[in-house]
Structure 1
Amino acid sequence: MSDLPGSPPFSPTVMLLTVARVWDAAYAEALKPLGLTTRKYGLLGHVRGTPGISFSELARRSRITVQSAHTAVAAFVTAGLVDDGTAHAGSASTLRVTAAGEELLARAAEVVSRLDEEFAGRHPGLTEALAAEWRGVVDERG
Structure 2
Amino acid sequence: MGWLLAPGYAGYPHPEMFFAKVRDHCALWEPPQSIGVVRETWKVTIENARPGPPETSPSIVLLTLAHRIESELGAALAPLGLTVSRFGLLGHITGVPGASFSDLARMSGITVQSVHTAVKALSGAGLVRDNTARAGSASAIEITPEGARLMREAMKAVAGVDERLFGPDADPIQRQIADVARAAFEGRSRL
Q: 1:70 to 1:104 in 2, by over 3 A?
A: same
Give the AA of the match of 1:50. Answer: V
For 1:136 and 1:43, the matched residues in 2 are separated by 23
1:94 aligned onto 2:131: no
Unmatched 5+ stretches in structure 1: none
1:12 aligned onto 2:50: no
What are the Cα deviations for residues 63-115 of structure 1, in whole angstroms up to 9, with x where unaligned?
11111111111111111000111111111111110000001100100000011
Which has the greater radius of gyration?
Answer: 2
Give the AA of the match of 1:78. Answer: G
1:50 aligned onto 2:87: no
Unmatched 5+ stretches in structure 2: 1-49
Which structure carries more helix by proportion? 1
Identity between Structure 1 and Structure 2 (%): 45
For 1:137 and 1:78, the matched residues in 2 are separated by 34
TM-score normalised to structure 1 length: 0.86
* Partner residue, 1:61: 107
Deviation, 1:32, is: 1.0
Written as runs of structure 1 = structure 2, the 5 A alignment for 1:1-142 is 5-119=51-165, 120=167, 121-124=169-172, 126-136=174-184
What are the Cα deviations for residues 23-49 of structure 1, in whole angstroms up to 9, with x where unaligned?
211111111111111110010111111
TM-score normalised to structure 2 length: 0.65
Higher-RCO chain (CA-CA 8 Å, sequence separation at least 6): 1
